[in-house]
């Protein structure tokens, strides 16, 4: 029987055996939601990078550059890490590079797995349906926040575990994530309780929280191919 497990922060990823597994990277607020939106609006590809310096130099290669630190847009970049601040006409057909506090680093760490898929609430059903087609175990990699577990990523991971009803739940971590999901009646109201949602609200980014809580509004599947994220 295929199995599913959950890693609660990208800093813990090295403690998990991910070789031969499908890794699903989750950063609801906001990297995987933002990347999903970029591709949904027609970006050619998205390149995750680990540092601001690496991201900035890609401007010379005709990339749109996006960067965030501590939830805020970094000065000198085209955009921060918000899925609501850009429009289709600015994105369609363009290459995008993104450096974030947690999500882009989680994606980079997943390199070497059998397959890396990006998930948020925006595309959760599409991701679940794809996973079911593979004959592979699955590790759900929550980005977390600076090494700490966060509510929204765990909630999304729990939704995936719940949808993989024919998979063996490998650990108590996955069981707890599923329990959180199963006992949540309102995703948006639950997300508002999270520390990062409160942080973003303090930066006048409440619109992002509502946007990222929408379920299955962008039914696409971003995949990591080499060092670029593209549509499946």
Two tokens, residue 193 = 């309780």
Distance in angstroms (rounded) separating the CA atoms of residues 27 and 34: 9
At residue 165 the predicted structure's pLDDT band, cuts being 50, 70 and 90, is very high
Return the pLDDT at 61: 98
Mean pLDDT of 32-41: 98
Is the pLDDT at 204 greater than 90, yes or no? no
d(CA 164, CA 174): 11
Assess if residue 165 is contained within a domain: yes
Average pLDDT rounded to a whole number, residues 22-33: 98
Q: What is the pLDDT of residue 103?
A: 97
Q: Give the number of other Cβ atoms within 10 Å of residue 209's Cβ.
A: 21
Q: What pLDDT, in 10s, does the model give residues 78-128?
A: 999 999 999 999 999 999 999 999 999 999 999 989 999 999 999 999 999
CATH number at residue 111: 3.90.1560.10
* pLDDT band, very low/low/confident/very high, at 38 (cuts 50, 70, 90): very high
Domain containing 74 equals 3-226
Tell me if 231 is assigned to some domain.
no
Confidence of residue 32 (pLDDT cuts 50, 70, 90): very high
Mean pLDDT for 135-154 is 97
Domains in the chain, number: 1
218 pLDDT above the threshold of 90 = yes
Is 84 within a domain?
yes
Provide, rounded to the nearest whole percent, the portion of the chain with pLDDT above 70.
100
In this prediction, residues 139-168 reach a mean pLDDT of 97
- Percentage of the chain beyond pLDDT 90 is 96
C-beta of residue 6 within 8 angstroms of C-beta of residue 137: no
Does residue 129 belong to any structural domain of this protein? yes
First vs last C-alpha separation in the chain: 25
CA distance 221 to 36: 8
Mean pLDDT of the residues in the chain: 97
Q: Which of 21, 15, 24 is nearest to 2 (CA)?
A: 21
Structural tokens at position 88: 């289709």
> What is the C-alpha to C-alpha distance for residues 52 and 40, in angstroms, rounded to an integer?
25
Model pTM score: 0.97
Which runs of E-coded beta strand occur in the chain? 3-7, 22-26, 45-48, 63-69, 72-73, 95-99, 115-119, 138-142, 168-169, 222-225, 228-231
Which of the 8 DSSP states describes residue 3?
E
Cα(150)–Cα(198) distance, integer angstroms:
12
What pLDDT is recorded for position 40?
98
Q: In degrees rounded to 5, what are phi and psi of residue 204?
A: 65, 40
Residue at token pair 């309780």: 193
* Backbone region of residue 220 per phi and psi (left: phi > 0; alpha: psi in -120 to 50; beta: other values): beta
Within a domain: 232: no
Cβ–Cβ contacts within 10 Å for residue 152, how many? 30
C-alpha to C-alpha distance for 54 and 169, rounded to whole angstroms: 38
**Residue found under tokens 């999304």:** 156
């Amino acid at each position: 029987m295929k199995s599913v497990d959950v890693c609660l922060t990208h800093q813990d990823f090295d403690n998990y055996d991910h070789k031969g597994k499908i890794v699903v990277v989750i950063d609801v607020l906001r990297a995987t939601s933002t990347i999903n939106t970029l591709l949904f609006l027609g970006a050619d590809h998205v390149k995750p990078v680990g540092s601001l310096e690496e991201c900035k130099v890609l401007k010379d290669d005709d990339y749109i550059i996006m960067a965030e630190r501590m939830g805020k847009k970094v000065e000198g970049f085209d955009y921060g890490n918000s899925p609501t601040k850009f429009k289709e006409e600015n994105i369609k057909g363009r290459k995008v590079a993104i450096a974030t506090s947690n999500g882009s680093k989680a994606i980079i760490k997943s390199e070497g797995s059998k397959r890396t898929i990006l998930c948020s609430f925006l595309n959760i059903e599409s991701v679940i349906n794809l996973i079911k087609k593979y004959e592979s175990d699955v590790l759900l990699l929550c980005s977390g926040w600076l090494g700490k577990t966060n509510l929204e990523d765990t909630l999304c991971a729990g939704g995936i575990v719940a949808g993989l009803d024919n998979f063996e739940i490998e650990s108590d971590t996955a069981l707890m994530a599923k329990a959180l999901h199963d006992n949540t009646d309102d995703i948006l109201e639950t997300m508002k309780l999270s520390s990062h949602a409160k942080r973003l609200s303090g930066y006048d980014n409440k619109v992002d929280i509502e946007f990222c809580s929408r379920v299955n509004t962008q039914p696409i599947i971003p995949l990591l191919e080499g060092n670029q994220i593209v549509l499946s």
